[in-house]
Amino acid sequence: MNRRTTSHLPPLVMMITALILLSAFTPPATAARLTLPGAVEAALKKSPDIQSAREAISLATSQIDTARAIWWPKIAIYAEALRADAPSLALFKTIDQRLLEPGTDFNNPGIIDNIEGGLTAEIFLYNAGRNHLKLAAAHSTLEVTKARQRKTQHRLTAQVIDIWYDILSSRKFIHIAEESLQTVTAQLASTTIRYKGGSVLRSDLLSLKVRLAEAEEQLLASKNRLSLSKAALFTLLGEDPDTTDPLSPEDPFPGGTPPPYPEGLAHALSHRCEIEESRALIAHADTGIHTAQSGHRPIVTLGGRVYANDNSLDHQIKRANWSMALRMDLPLFSGFSVDAETRAARAHKRTTEALRQKIRLQIRWEVKNAYLRHDEAIKRVHVAQKAVALGEESLSLVKKQVEGGSATVTRYLEAELDRNSARIRETSAYYEMKKSLAAIFRTTATSDNGPGTLFALCPPPIRHREN
């Protein structure tokens, strides 16, 4: 038995050793890079603004439940302990106790004790239409809240997109600044050798040093812009601005075609959440008018009570009492308050209609502005690309001329600055084109392709269950 165990031990030890060595040399898993869609999803989950909007919807839903509660009867249990010497109380409470003795002197009843307990119920048979109106107002409030939540979601998504492209452009600016710094450093080293040889003036050498300092300053500014953009992004994601999660350097939407301007404008005027909000506000204003006018209508209630009285705690079912009443209240004069409330409600509706017109004009301007920005950015990209190509060629020629002595260092600095400026303009125009494309999808409420699909990540609010 011991020999068998000993014979199998070495292979087992070798297997364990191999597993340990394999795990030691296995490269650690790299952290997943945060992508733009992932950043939008994180912002929609963690942003305090979104959390506040969700709670606002919960509040509006509770108001619907409160409005529905008025349809149900109100039932309550009550108890009362009474001690008095009032003649009227003595008469009625004693009768309700069903213990009235003949010959009782109600002018001097003495002290009476009564303990009463019962059950009451009341229900509106007709509430001047206010039950329906209150429920309709609550539904309108919920629709307004949902539209505002979607508006908050789209605004937050647009902010994440803009900051994301700011991060990408900052990385590109850093790359441009580093290349410029390398180019100027190499030229400074060459010029220093030529200066020592007496073929270059000291002023040319100092000009290169000044340009080197400018390149270093540009690099520092680009790195600081990147840090600020990252801090702003993680703040939108509801995280610490000092978070160092890796960000994906790739553009998730290299393409994307916006809808034609007429189609985009028509879609915006019918699908924007602001339009839905204005519709719900007008519906709420209409409800307010009808609610104010209901002040002239009657209210009909049905109520009942079952109760028992006793001078101690000896309540008996055979001595219980009950009552039921059908009541109508019709206001005849209320100091013209109903007319005043109706005028105020109509004025509120006119204000809401004016707000809707303003919203439509604002949407038209936002859509037009987004398309104009996009067209301008596309043209700027084309122009900047030509300028970059010309700047690269010019810098290459001037560099050869400087090395051959037919051009000055000043001319080289001008060519190098022109090339870098063209590259910066190209980068700015390219990412402005990206931002304006996302703005088109946001302002037109379309989400079928390109960055517009990010706005589709905003989940529609859960509809309140209808009975």
- d(CA 173, CA 157) in angstroms, rounded, equals 24
**CA 105 to chain CA centroid, nearest Å:** 75
pLDDT of residue 18: 56
pLDDT of residue 409: 75
- Per-residue pLDDT, averaged over 356-363, amounts to 95
Sign of CA dihedral 333, 339, 342, 348: negative
- d(CA 38, CA 161) in angstroms, rounded, equals 11
Write b or e for each residue in 225-242: b if 16 or more Cβ atoms lie within 10 A of its Cβ, otherwise e: bbeebbebbbebbeeeee
Mean confidence (pLDDT) of the chain: 84
CA dist 79 to 118, 171, 196, 302, 322, Å?
7, 76, 110, 22, 15
Tokens of 226: 């990147």
- Per-residue pLDDT, averaged over 307-329, amounts to 88
pLDDT of residue 193: 78
pLDDT of residue 366: 94
Residue 252 lies in a domain: yes
Nearest in space to 140 (alpha carbons), one of 354, 293, 364, 352: 352
Residue 164 lies in a domain: yes
Dump pLDDT digits (tens) for 269-283: 998 999 999 999 999
- Per-residue pLDDT, averaged over 297-307, amounts to 94
448 versus 438: the higher-pLDDT residue is 438
The domain tally of the chain equals: 1
Res. 26 pLDDT band, cuts 50 70 90: very low
Residue 92 lies in a domain: no
pLDDT of residue 365: 96
Residue 159 lies in a domain: yes
Tokens of 284: 């709420």
Per-residue pLDDT for 373 more than 60? yes
Q: What is the pTM of this model?
A: 0.77
Tokens of 283: 């519906």
Res. 257 pLDDT band, cuts 50 70 90: confident
Res. 28 pLDDT band, cuts 50 70 90: very low
Per-residue pLDDT for 262 more than 80? yes
Residue 221 lies in a domain: yes
In this predicted structure, which of 73-82, 391-400, 405-414 has the lowest mean pLDDT?
Answer: 405-414
- Per-residue pLDDT, averaged over 206-212, amounts to 82
pLDDT of residue 426: 92
Residue 245 lies in a domain: yes
Res. 427 pLDDT band, cuts 50 70 90: very high
pLDDT of residue 8: 47
- Per-residue pLDDT, averaged over 381-405, amounts to 87
- Per-residue pLDDT, averaged over 347-366, amounts to 95
Residue 153 lies in a domain: yes
- Per-residue pLDDT, averaged over 46-65, amounts to 90
Res. 466 pLDDT band, cuts 50 70 90: very low
pLDDT of residue 14: 56
Per-residue pLDDT for 31 more than 70? no
- Per-residue pLDDT, averaged over 133-143, amounts to 93
Main-chain phi, psi angles of 79, to 5 degrees: -145, 145
46: CATH: 1.20.1600.10
pLDDT of residue 25: 47
pLDDT of residue 281: 94
Per-residue pLDDT for 22 more than 60? no
% of the chain beyond a pLDDT of 90:
40
* Domain range for 193: 36-72+129-298+338-455
% of the chain beyond a pLDDT of 70:
89
120 versus 84: the higher-pLDDT residue is 120
Residue 98 lies in a domain: no
